[in-house]
Amino acid sequence: MSDIPVLLMAAGASTRMGRPKQLLPWKNTTLIEHQIQTLHQISNSVFVVLGAHSEAIIPVLNKTSVRIMTNPNWSEGMGNSIAFGLQQLLNEQPNCEAVLIGLVDQPLIDTHHCKQLIAAFEQGLQHIVVSEDPKADWWGAPVLFDRNYFSELLKLNGDIGAKKIAKKYEEHVIKVKSSGSLEDIDTPEAYHQLKQKINHRS
């Protein structure tokens, strides 16, 4: 299986949460460390894009082997942070063939699903591989982009993320149904609901 670099997006201000969701307790660690543990099982190159609250998050990440990148313009939105992170990644790995973009606030995404995304990508060229929710009628991150789309990812700005590009090239999109929910954590209510789901599984 290809060792595709990962961009973990963790630059948001967590305004609706009221505190940095990157540092929320999750299982026996923090949300961001949980995501890093998951991603390290499918890639040796995990790049974490920080922004808001970076001064509080960096000491936590210093215990890990990730590459930390702090976007000075994080407040301009997700698109800006994706473009920033990808440019930093390409500065270090200019010949990488693809990138997997994940979000820090999707803790139910597991290693098995990420491996499925990579396996689907390896079936052909010029693909965009997206995650499809098993219950809801929608798709999104984690998403894997072939390098043919890097030039457009680098042009992203504002609060419009990579889904815009996937929709533009829908004929090249492969949807991989996730075994777990793609739900993200934006509010205290959502956080407690997902924690209850985990507790019920245990």
- Tally of CA atoms within 13 A in the half-sphere of 197 that contains its CB: 15
User: What pLDDT is recorded for position 181?
Assistant: 75
CB 86 within 8 A of CB 145: no
pTM: 0.94
Look at residue 1 and tell me if it is in a domain.
no
Look at residue 160 and tell me if it is in a domain.
yes
Give the Cα separation of 77 and 12 in Å (integer): 8
Look at residue 24 and tell me if it is in a domain.
yes
Q: Does residue 202 carry a pLDDT above 80?
A: no
Give the Cα separation of 141 and 163 in Å (integer): 8
72 to 51, 53, 54, 153: CA distances (angstroms): 7, 12, 10, 18
User: What pLDDT is recorded for position 91?
Assistant: 98
Q: What is the pLDDT of residues 99-108, one digit of tens each?
A: 999 999 999 9
Per-residue confidence at 196, pLDDT binned at 50, 70, 90? confident
Give the Cα separation of 109 and 14 in Å (integer): 20
User: What pLDDT is recorded for position 200?
Assistant: 63
Q: Where are the beta strands (DSSP E) in the chain?
A: 6-10, 25-26, 29-30, 46-50, 67-70, 98-103, 128-132, 139-146, 173-177
H helices present in 12-110, as ranges: 31-40, 54-61, 78-92
Look at residue 103 and tell me if it is in a domain.
yes
**Average pLDDT of 105-122?**
93
Q: What are phi and psi of 119, to 5 degrees?
A: -60, -40
Look at residue 175 and tell me if it is in a domain.
yes
End-to-end CA distance of the chain, in Å? 30
Q: What is the pLDDT of residues 76-100, one digit of tens each?
A: 999 999 999 999 999 999 999 999 9
User: What pLDDT is recorded for position 199?
Assistant: 72
166 is in which domain, residue-wise?
Answer: 6-201
Q: What CATH number has the domain bearing residue 85? A: 3.90.550.10
Q: What is the DSSP letter of 135?
A: S
Q: How many helices (H) and strands (E) does the chain have?
A: 7, 9
Q: What is the pLDDT of residues 136-164, one digit of tens each?
A: 677 989 999 999 999 999 999 998 889 99
Q: What is the pLDDT of residues 18-74, one digit of tens each?
A: 899 999 999 999 999 999 999 999 999 999 999 999 999 999 999 899 999 999 999
Bridge partners (DSSP) listed for residue 143 = 101, 130
Q: What is the pLDDT of residues 125-134, one digit of tens each?
A: 778 999 998 7
User: What pLDDT is recorded for position 201?
Assistant: 61
| Domains contained in the chain, number | 1
Residue type, 28: N
